[in-house]
Every structure is written in C-alpha cells, then in structure tokens.
Amino acid sequence: MSKLLTLAWKEKVKAYAAISEEMGRLHPEILELAYQENWFKLFVPEVYGGPGKKLPEILRLEEELAEADGSLGWTVTLCAGAGWFAGFLNPALAEEIFAEREVCFAGSGAVGGVAIKTKQGYLINGKWSYASGALHATIFTANCALKNETGDDILDENGLQVVKSFILKKEEVNILPGWSYFGLIATGSHAFEVRNLNVKENRTFKINQQIEVSDCGFDYPFLQLAETTLTVNSLGMTNHFIKLVEQSFYARSGLGRYSEAQILFFNHELNRCKDELLNLRTQFYCAFDESWNQLVHSGQIADDNLKEVSSNSRKLAHACWKLAATLFPYCGLDAAKKESEINRVWRDIYTASQHALLTFDS
C-alpha cells in the first residue's frame, strides 16, 4: 500500500467516524473501503482469495486502523480474527464461503449454545453476546456444548464437556439489538441467536488442531493471537488520544491563566506518557516478533517466550487506559462533550479496556 493511498483512506475514515457512531454501525463508504482493501480477509490464505498477509504485518495494520478510528479498528480486528478460522475449515466449505467479495465473519468466544448430535449432523440452539460487526456479517461463528440425542453431555477422554465451533450463515441467525454501550458504538456488537437449526457435520471446526491449508501462521497459539490483536487496538486508540490531548491543551481559551511552571509540568507529563507508551510498544513488538520468528524457523515457540508475549500485551493494554486517565484532565471541557472527537476516542479506549481477556496483568 502506497503512502498516498494510506493517507487517502485515513482521511476517509476520519471523515466518516462520527457519522458511523451516529448510525451505530460502520458507514457504507467505510465498509466499501474495507472490502476494497480486503481488511475483513486479512487472515484468509491466498488459496481462498485472501491477501496472504501474516500476523506481524496484520498487527501493525490493526494498530494503524484503530488509531484512525477505534470502531473501525476493533471491527476489522474481531471480524478478520474470526476469519483466521479459515485455516481450520472444511476446504469445500471454505471455498464456498470466501468466494463472496463481501464475506465477513462475526461471532463470540463464549459457549452460548447446545448442539445435539444427529444422524445428519447437529441440531443447534443458543444465544451469543457481543458479535462485533454483526450488522454486516455474512458468517457467524458460535461455540456449542455437545449433547447426544438423549440429552446427555458428550464427554472427551478426560471426562470433560466436548465443545465445538460452528459456522452459521447470516440467514440462519437472528440479530438481537443490544449494543448500548458508551464506546465503540459503530462496531454494532450485537448479540445473535439460533433456534432449532440443523447443520451438516462439515460446519464444525476446532482451532489449533487439524490445519486444512498449507500456509504458515495457523499454528500460532490462539491465546496470544487474541491478546496481541486486542492490545494493538488499545495502542492505536491511545496514540490518537495523546495527539488530541496535546492539541486540546494548547487550544484552550484559558491557557493564558496557566503559569509557565504549570505549562512546563503539562509538557513533562505529556512527554513522560509518550515515552512510556513508546517503550512498552517496543517491548511488545520485540517479544511478539521473537515468537513469530521462532515459529517460522523452528516450528514451535518456547513457553517462556509465549509468557512474555502475554505479559507484554497486558502491560501495554493496561498502560493505555492508565495514561488516558492521567492526561484526560488537561483537555478542557470539550473532552467531556460527547460529540467531540477526543471524547469519542476516550470512550472507545475505556470500552475496549473491558474485554475480559486483558482485564488482569497475569
């Protein structure tokens, strides 16, 4: 992607971010941009028409998207992340799904449904919350606990409940509007449900087990993939917020009331926050890049390195909302105005901070 094109899409995203929030979903112009750039297919292998991108490049792109607009970055990250399941799908089913230009996956990691094993496949009932991109998704992924036809749980060799992931088509699910939170509004992360749906056996898959394509990256551990992709969203939003903080402080009408010492103090705090974020960003990408290189060159990642990836992801994510809290009081009343750009970015940061995967440091 050229620098000119990058600038062009950034300007378009900026122009439609507030409108998307008012709509409660990504504006059609932004969706069209996402389809043109293959953002919803970032993880889809070339054999299925994907762009052939790998996780190191994808993380940096998602950071950039989240900096341009939190809702766009979050939606692309969650939808493209679900598209990563392409590597584990039945090949015939995957070819059918990804033949569509506007294919977009949405779904939930929660076990919200029950799938009863039948002679033809499975009978599914369930409800799943927080499916980002639900309003434009063409495919939904859903985790279900398996039961036999008598209603008994199907257990594995260790006596644990068997859970499988299922592919559902948009016409097979009901969207349940309920994304009423104060940030990431344009993600349209509504719930969905399925009632008495019969699906064939080939609609199931399990990640990090049987890889169905000969392409590197699908054996990267899902936990660290999820942690890193979510973290770069908080990072991108915070990059945006810090730039707006600096603009807001110096644009305040009452700036003349501040003494030279107070202005110096603000600059010290601003630069300290910038340096802290940059240092944590560097540590985060160093740990991730090392894990990726290990996987590519030796086919496995050392446990210590995976722990470092997880730890650095959490440290960086936590620093993002803490730095936003430190700098928010310097922004003036405009930052508390819900229609302002800086308020939207602040709300997006704190909504993203509620994702359970990164709640705790360890």
pLDDT in tens, 165-185: 999 999 999 999 999 999 999
Considering the domain architecture, whether residues 230 and 299 belong to the same structural domain is answered as yes
Residue 97 resides in a domain: no
Q: How many domains does the chain have?
A: 3
Predicted confidence band of residue 1 (pLDDT cuts 50, 70, 90): very low
Considering the domain architecture, whether residues 67 and 151 belong to the same structural domain is answered as no
Min mean pLDDT across 50-64, 241-255, 334-348 is at 241-255
DSSP string, 173-231: -EEE-----SSSGGG--EEEEEEEEEEEGGGEE-TTSS--S--TTTTS-HHHHHHHHHH
Considering the domain architecture, whether residues 227 and 354 belong to the same structural domain is answered as yes
Considering the domain architecture, whether residues 261 and 192 belong to the same structural domain is answered as no
In this structure, are residues 139 and 103 in contact, taking their beta carbons and an 8 Å threshold? yes
Considering the domain architecture, whether residues 142 and 108 belong to the same structural domain is answered as yes
Q: Which distant-in-sequence residues (6+ apart) come within 8 Å of 65 by Cβ?
A: 13, 39, 72, 73, 76, 77, 236
Considering the domain architecture, whether residues 135 and 69 belong to the same structural domain is answered as no
Q: What mean pLDDT comes out for the span 334-353? A: 97
Q: What mean pLDDT comes out for the span 336-341? A: 96
Looking at the DSSP bridge assignments, the partners of residue 349 are none
The one-letter code for the residue type at 214 is S
Domain hosting residue 133, numbered range: 104-205
Q: What mean pLDDT comes out for the span 203-215? A: 83
Q: How many CB atoms lie within 10 A of CB 28?
A: 12
In this structure, are residues 284 and 358 in contact, taking their beta carbons and an 8 Å threshold? no
Longest Cα pair distance anywhere in the chain, in angstroms?
78
pLDDT over 70 (residue 313): yes
pLDDT over 60 (residue 262): yes
Indicate the SS3 state at residue 361.
coil
Q: Which distant-in-sequence residues (6+ apart) come within 8 Å of 282 by Cβ?
A: none
Q: What mean pLDDT comes out for the span 66-92? A: 94
pLDDT per residue as tens digits for the range 107-162: 988 999 999 999 999 999 999 999 999 999 999 999 999 999 999 999 999 999 99
Q: Which distant-in-sequence residues (6+ apart) come within 8 Å of 313 by Cβ?
A: 224, 227, 228, 230, 231, 284, 358
Considering the domain architecture, whether residues 231 and 325 belong to the same structural domain is answered as yes
Predicted confidence band of residue 279 (pLDDT cuts 50, 70, 90): very high
Check which CATH number belongs to the domain holding 313 and give it: 1.20.140.10
Residue 216 resides in a domain: no
Considering the domain architecture, whether residues 79 and 126 belong to the same structural domain is answered as no
pLDDT over 60 (residue 4): no
Considering the domain architecture, whether residues 180 and 81 belong to the same structural domain is answered as no
Considering the domain architecture, whether residues 286 and 161 belong to the same structural domain is answered as no
Considering the domain architecture, whether residues 226 and 352 belong to the same structural domain is answered as yes
Residue 59 resides in a domain: yes
Give the model's pLDDT for residue 133.
97
pLDDT over 90 (residue 362): no
Helices 55-68 and 260-298 cross at an angle (nearest 10°) of: 150
Check which CATH number belongs to the domain holding 13 and give it: 1.10.540.10
Q: What mean pLDDT comes out for the span 303-322? A: 98
Task: Give the Cα separation of 303 and 310 in Å (integer).
Answer: 11
Tell me the HSE value of 191 on the side-chain side, using a 13 A CA sphere: 13
Residue 93 resides in a domain: no
Q: Return the H-helix or E-strand segment holding 252.
A: none
Give the model's pLDDT for residue 2.
45
Give the model's pLDDT for residue 314.
98
Predicted confidence band of residue 212 (pLDDT cuts 50, 70, 90): confident
Residue 181 resides in a domain: yes
Residue 211 resides in a domain: no
Looking at the DSSP bridge assignments, the partners of residue 168 are 140
Residue 175 resides in a domain: yes
Q: Which distant-in-sequence residues (6+ apart) come within 8 Å of 182 by Cβ?
A: 347, 351
pLDDT per residue as tens digits for the range 11-67: 999 999 999 999 999 999 999 999 999 999 999 999 999 998 999 999 999 999 999
Residue 234 resides in a domain: yes
